[in-house]
Chain A
Amino acid sequence: MICGSAWTSWEVKRFSTSEPFTQEMTGKDRQELEEQEFHRFADLTLGQLLNKLEDIVEDSDIPDADIEYGQGVLTLTLGSKGTFVLNKQSPNKQIWSSSPISGPARYDFMDGEWVYRRDGHNLHKRLAAELESVLEFEVDIEPEPHQAYGQDVT
């Protein structure tokens, strides 16, 4: 059962209290992730990133920096520093990313985080590190602990 106080009101609207959020939903690997769950987690991830990146774009001093989100594709342009693209790749139940620094990567939702299976790195940590190197200021795009999905909420 969802404990209302541990979630923001936005989360409570998204997940009705009648929806089961049991231990079974944690630790799922790609094969077990249902399509509906994939869309929910992926949309939540990209939506949260959009909010944080909008602030980051404001704070940056890059004149033509921009962030766009539509049809499951998040595009962050940072002028001459390059363009980051994150998109839902629904057939694979993955989030795909394209970075001007590290190129392409594909993330699976495993144990509550998006992980690149080939080397085990985490989407949010990699993106934050790359943005920091490009923007030269500290960046926080981690999902908030109480907003973390796929984690046991007590």
Chain B
Amino acid sequence: MLQGLRFAAGALRESQASCQLIRPAVAAAQRPYHKNVVDHYENPRNVGSFGKNDANVGTGLVGAPACGDVMKLQIKVDEAGNIIDSCFKTFGCGSAIASSSVATEWIKGKTIEEVVTIKNSDIAKHLSLPPVKLHCSMLAEDAIKAAVKDIQAKRAAAGQAPAAVEEKMAATA
């Protein structure tokens, strides 16, 4: 947990250099982070990592280091499609960290069908993100969808295996 906190904290210090967009924005208008963003930075929820090869884990990896934002969001999903746990690791500015932290909070306890309806605008509104940071909340929405897509692909592949075995058995019968 502490290691995760340092990761998130280290990312925030880098934000001035890595978030390309923030330099001119800072020059133009100093604007404090909303208290919800500060809260998620000081008390990040669900920082961590699940084994990506676990059959019940979906991993969404979005963004690009060159852009200054990379988010990894993971979900642990039960047989019925309920998200029983979630975690994230984000390299980026405070808004990116907060957006992904909020995302992991909101998706816990929901089904994978429900969470793909979470909109970046909901996250942005909750964090009062300024215009230049709307891209961070978009990335968090993308991360959720990518994690869901991953678990669905895993389950589809696993589902195909028994069917292939059945076909083979039928062919050799």
A interface residues (Cβ-Cβ under 8 A, vs B): 68, 70-73, 75, 82-85, 87, 89-92, 96, 98, 100, 103-104, 106
Contact = CB atoms under 8 A, between A and B. Distances in A.
B131 A98 contact: yes
A99 to B, nearest CB: 8
B23 interface: yes
Q: Is the interface of B mostly helix, strand, loop or mixed?
A: helix
B25 A73 contact: yes
20 contacts: A70-B24, A70-B27, A70-B28, A73-B21, A73-B24, A73-B28, A75-B28, A83-B131, A84-B131, A85-B131, A89-B21, A91-B67, A92-B64, A96-B21, A96-B135, A98-B132, A98-B134, A100-B131, A104-B120, A104-B137
Interface in B19-61: 20-21, 23-25, 27-28
Contacts, number: 50
A19 to B, nearest CB: 28
Given A85-B131, A98-B131, A103 B67 contact: no
Contact of B64 (A68, A85, A91): A91
Contacts of B137: 104
The 4 closest A-B pairs by CB, nearest first: A91-B66, A104-B134, A98-B131, A71-B24
Contacts of B124: 103
A103 B28 contact: no
Interface of B: 20-21, 23-25, 27-28, 64, 66-67, 120-121, 124, 131-132, 134-135, 137-138
Nearest to A83: B131
Contacts of A91: 20, 64, 66-67
B138 to A, nearest CB: 5
Given A87-B21, A92-B64, 20 more contacts: A68-B28, A70-B27, A71-B23, A71-B24, A72-B24, A73-B24, A73-B25, A82-B131, A83-B131, A89-B20, A89-B21, A89-B67, A91-B64, A92-B66, A92-B67, A96-B135, A98-B131, A104-B120, A104-B134, A104-B138
Given A71-B23, A98-B132, A103 B121 contact: yes
Nearest to A106: B135
Nearest to B133: A98
A103 B137 CA distance: 10
B23 A103 contact: no
Contacts of A73: 21, 24-25, 28
A70 B23 CA distance: 11
A85 B21 CA distance: 11
A83 B133 CA distance: 12
